[in-house]
Structure 1
């Protein structure tokens, strides 16, 4: 079975056009970390941090953007049913992750929480800094994107020795 994927240049062009179109239509840069904060705010009503500013707004466009990402992925997967199936296979990461499904789930949830915390600490997620900030030639975002990709490169070399 052969899986059809977009070529890199076409996917990059589509992402770039989306970033520009989103900013032009909405007037705000695209990004997921504020939507993540909105979800946390809806789930954690008692935490004061989430009752202030844009986290308390249920109609924040970034909340709907964050919700739309898995829905879009699901609809895309449903469009090509031959390529989609439920699996706990993590590919090359099976070498470094625990082998039991429960331990994998705990490890991945913890990693996701660290990613969310890091995104809020950095002021934006990878999408916000590298794609949107890069498209706007924002120097702090360009630096953050460089640090993100350099860190990923060195972490991969450390974990997999390649």
Structure 2
């Protein structure tokens, strides 16, 4: 079976158009960390950390955006010609991750928790800062985007070259 991969410029154009369309239709910038905060707020009802401002809104469009991400992935997998199955195959990251599936799952969950905490601390996720804030030329978002990419670059170098 032949796999079709989008060209990088076409994928970038599609993401840029989505950001504009999202803002035009909803009136708010794209991003899903607020939706993540809403989910955490529902789970951790007694933590004031998650109950500020937009995190109180139970009908927040970003919550639905967050829910749509795994649903879209599931629909894509179900529509694929290849049979869908669970896999912890992480490609090149298998070199640096634990080998058991349970240990990989723990690392991935821990990484997701750190991502959510960092997004809350930074005021937005990588999508919110780098794509939306960058498109709006927001100086803090531009700085955050540079920090995100430099951190990813440095971590990749540390993981695979030492």
TM-score (norm 1): 0.93
TM-superposed CA distance for 1:83, in Å, is 6.8
Q: Indicate yes or no: 2:98 matched with 1:112.
A: no
Give the RMSD, CA atoms, in angstroms.
Answer: 1.6
Which ranges of structure 2 fall in alignment gaps of 5 or more residues?
none
Q: What does the per-residue CA deviation read over 1:37-67, in whole Å, with 9 as the maximum and x for residues that have no partner?
A: 0110111222233334221221000000000
Q: Indicate yes or no: 2:44 matched with 1:44.
A: yes
Check conservation: 1:32, 1:128, Cα contact below 8 A.
Answer: yes
Give distance in 2, aligned partners of 1:155 and 1:122.
19
Q: Indicate yes or no: 2:133 matched with 1:133.
A: yes
Distance 1:4 1:86, change over 3 A: farther
Give the paired residue count.
Answer: 162
TM-score (norm 2): 0.93
Give distance in 2, aligned partners of 1:2 and 1:66.
31
Residue matched to 1:159: 159
Q: What does the per-residue CA deviation read over 1:80-134, in whole Å, with 9 as the maximum and x for residues that have no partner?
A: 2327432121111111111111111111111111111111111111000000011
Question: Which has the higher mean CA deviation after the structures are superposed, 80-89 or 130-139?
Answer: 80-89
Which ranges of structure 1 fall in alignment gaps of 5 or more residues?
none
Distance 1:137 1:110, change over 3 A: same
Give distance in 2, aligned partners of 1:94 and 1:60.
37
1:37-76 → structure 2 map (5 Å cutoff):
37-76=37-76
Question: Which has the higher mean CA deviation after the structures are superposed, 18-27 or 39-48?
Answer: 39-48
Give distance in 2, aligned partners of 1:47 and 1:107.
24
Check conservation: 1:3, 1:83, Cα contact below 8 A.
Answer: no
What is the SS of the residue equivalent to 2:54? helix
Give distance in 2, aligned partners of 1:105 and 1:82.
24
Q: What does the per-residue CA deviation read over 1:5-27, in whole Å, with 9 as the maximum and x for residues that have no partner?
A: 22211111111001011111111
